[in-house]
A and B are shown apart, each in its own frame.
Chain A
């Protein structure tokens, strides 16, 4: 691993002398460092700041999820003596908590987490560029996020909103004191939309214009393809959310009547508007996770990705289909004909998704799998995402959806896709690129232990919810009939296992930052460009503008840069005539 490739190492060593400082290198005292980070236009620093912010939001949103689960540990009942037992929080507090959980997780964690954190850090490096196309816009996007996030959290925790993250009208525009807060929260969502749009716009232009010499579209890593498709959705869908939440905020403030049936408006129009963004937003959440998957599966299995173009185009396919299926959120609010059309269209989502899963599985065939933490997360993703995806088809089928609508089955489905898909991929990616981002290795055993807690905890929490939901347990209620008690208790215990898993990861990463051993340039033997630069990368990413000589997954032909052939041997050539058998 320590042997440096003679051709690139020799040149790099010479030029690296004068401007080769790591991007984490401190230029002065504490205040100088803070100012340096606060005004940076370096995509890596902005990505790292996003990573810490979204991680904070994840724990904040997770805390409220744990409280929701805690309330549901026992049903709220009136005993023989007429006392209320089993109630931890008042019902309206419960409503506010699940809204908090939803809004924070959707708008503040999962939408920005992978694109803004990993996308910012990795996309320019993977393309061989010095920065994103518009570095100052990138910084602005970060501050818009910070401002919107602060506004949202203050409004949510300060007053609280009990509408759920969807803010359905007319409930959200009634004039009660609590719903005044809807104004602030929707305004925050409007502001956060700008951040999302600017990040997406930046990435699209970067991919078009800043690829390294020799890098064609099909030489790009699949993570870049996924982020590209995500960015297109961000650019094309978020403005519709913008106008929707802006109208909702105006509606709440002035009662203008566009969505208010009492004033002649149309609440179903709100639902259409909302889901025209929020359904594609689901793919803003999952597509980057799929991009991470494509990287983890090949690098940790040391095999060329199976079906490169199929995976690349399926990302664009998902992006395209995402815009025409929003009506499946309105099966109870639109005509039977519209239901039939949207139901049929929804099934199309399964095709590109399945193409990806099949290709990842095919990549593993006869590969050399290393059971590292990132690889375990990748394998876990295939399991949980497939369950999440397939149960989506149950819900797309109108006949079954009539029974499953608004039950825990839906909750379990989207948690399997969001948490079991995007979340699991994010944690895998975090372990995979951690050595590159901070130049420190983490403890592999602790990582694997954390993975098992997360994986088992996740499935314990949510699989049981499929069973509950199929038996009719409705969503959103603070209590339930006693028959469901054991299901809810299993689910709540699962949420504690999840917490333990995340705390192990948190401790592991903290330990790595403080005391971790120095990471080599290419600890996993990857072939994409980020592994050719230092760990952590230098300020301008590369000592010399990289030139592309091989594809991102050519494990059959290339010894990974900065790796020893002893560690990463090339496959033995086939014996003559062997292919015939």
Chain B
């Protein structure tokens, strides 16, 4: 736009950024941050494996009842819709990383915002169509569980509260991760608006993207285990 040679003060942040003082160069810093996030994702996987392991053991204990409880309490269509929403958001997050690498600032912001909106849709569906109806019908784990079903057509098994305990805790922990992910995506989008990211520097976009993929991946396992099998 301007013919003058850009100086350090007019260049966007991502062009002038080098690295924090204790790193040797920008590449080391990027690789280090990425390694740190991968390790963090490992801890996330292990956290959720605790849930999956508990699910597996209790499912073996109460195989038929779990199947019946899944079919009765959960609507696979809602779960499938949310799965689709998350898959779309994962795609747009991947696109935003690509946009940062190619210095397409507009695409970067749009893709990040679409991903955040997808996360919000997921949470709204979860709260409005799943948690709220379950809450008012006492389909809750523990002492608030009502064995007398509101439809009158279903006879609850003694292990149903345990199934619901797994369902509520696993999806709530996952939902919390989605919420954190949305906030992170908005933060990255805000920084992208200030031209913080470009081909030379897109650490935060990459790492938030990695985190978002994991959140997506956990749901890919939760959905069939809770809703389908």
Q: Nearest chain B CB to A104's CB is how many angstroms away?
A: 25
Tell me if B28 is interfacial: C-beta within 8 Å of chain A. yes
Tell me if A163 is interfacial: C-beta within 8 Å of chain B. no
Tell me if B159 is interfacial: C-beta within 8 Å of chain A. yes
The total of chain A residues at the interface (CB under 8 A) is 38
Q: How far apart sit A243 and B48, CA to CA, in the bound complex (Å)?
A: 8
**Interface 9-residue window, one of B38-46, B81-89, B122-130, B146-154:** B38-46
Q: Mark A98-142, 1 if CB is under 8 A from B, else 0.
A: 000000000000000000000000000000011101110100000
Tell me if B162 is interfacial: C-beta within 8 Å of chain A. yes
Q: Assess the A264–B161 pair: CB atoms within 8 A.
A: yes
The total of chain B residues at the interface (CB under 8 A) is 40
Q: Assess the A201–B39 pair: CB atoms within 8 A.
A: yes
Q: Assess the A266–B32 pair: CB atoms within 8 A.
A: no
Tell me if B220 is interfacial: C-beta within 8 Å of chain A. no
From A197, A239, A273, residue with most partner B Cβ within 10 Å: A239
Tell me if B36 is interfacial: C-beta within 8 Å of chain A. yes
**Interface 9-residue window, one of A23-31, A205-213, A300-308, A529-537:** A205-213
Contacts of B31 in A (CB 8 A): 209
Tell me if B142 is interfacial: C-beta within 8 Å of chain A. yes
Q: How far apart sit A5 and B162, CA to CA, in the bound complex (Å)?
A: 70
Q: A133-B32, A242-B47, A258-B166 given as contacts; is B142 within 8 A of A247 (CB)?
A: no
Contacts of A204 in B (CB 8 A): 35, 39
Tell me if A265 is interfacial: C-beta within 8 Å of chain B. yes
Q: Nearest chain A CB to B80's CB is how many angstroms away?
A: 26
Tell me if A240 is interfacial: C-beta within 8 Å of chain B. yes
Question: In chain A between 182 and 209, which residues have their CB closer than 8 angstroms to a CB of chain B?
Answer: 197, 201-202, 204-205, 208-209
**Interface 9-residue window, one of B54-62, B98-106, B131-139, B184-192:** B54-62
Q: Assess the A264–B62 pair: CB atoms within 8 A.
A: yes
**Interface 9-residue window, one of A248-256, A363-371, A463-471, A473-481:** A248-256
From A208, A254, A256, residue with most partner B Cβ within 10 Å: A256
Tell me if B1 is interfacial: C-beta within 8 Å of chain A. no
Q: How far apart sit A135 and B23, CA to CA, in the bound complex (Å)?
A: 11
Q: Nearest chain B CB to A127's CB is how many angstroms away?
A: 11
Q: How far apart sit A235 and B33, CA to CA, in the bound complex (Å)?
A: 16
Question: In chain B between 153 and 169, which residues have their CB closer than 8 angstroms to a CB of chain A?
Answer: 158-159, 161-162, 165-166, 168-169
Contacts of B166 in A (CB 8 A): 258
Q: How far apart sit A258 and B24, CA to CA, in the bound complex (Å)?
A: 49
Q: A256-B165, A257-B165, A266-B57 given as contacts; is B22 within 8 A of A210 (CB)?
A: yes
Q: A129-B22, A247-B54, A258-B58 given as contacts; is B36 within 8 A of A239 (CB)?
A: no
Partner of A133, one of B36, B46, B142: B36
Tell me if B218 is interfacial: C-beta within 8 Å of chain A. no
Q: Assess the B61–A266 pair: CB atoms within 8 A.
A: yes
Contacts of B23 in A (CB 8 A): 209-210
Residue of A nearest to B143 (CB): A255
Contacts of A177 in B (CB 8 A): none
From A130, A201, A236, residue with most partner B Cβ within 10 Å: A201
Contacts of A133 in B (CB 8 A): 32, 36
Q: A197-B43, A256-B169, A263-B161 given as contacts; is B35 within 8 A of A208 (CB)?
A: yes
Contacts of B40 in A (CB 8 A): 197, 201
Contacts of B168 in A (CB 8 A): 256
Q: Assess the A254–B50 pair: CB atoms within 8 A.
A: no
Q: Assess the A254–B43 pair: CB atoms within 8 A.
A: no
Contacts of B141 in A (CB 8 A): 254, 256-257
Contacts of B173 in A (CB 8 A): 246
Contacts of A202 in B (CB 8 A): 36
Q: Give 24 A-B contacts (CB < 8 Å), ordered by A residue.
A: A130-B21, A130-B22, A134-B36, A201-B40, A204-B39, A205-B32, A208-B35, A235-B39, A235-B43, A236-B42, A239-B44, A250-B169, A254-B142, A254-B143, A256-B165, A263-B162, A264-B58, A264-B62, A264-B159, A265-B165, A266-B61, A269-B54, A269-B58, A273-B54
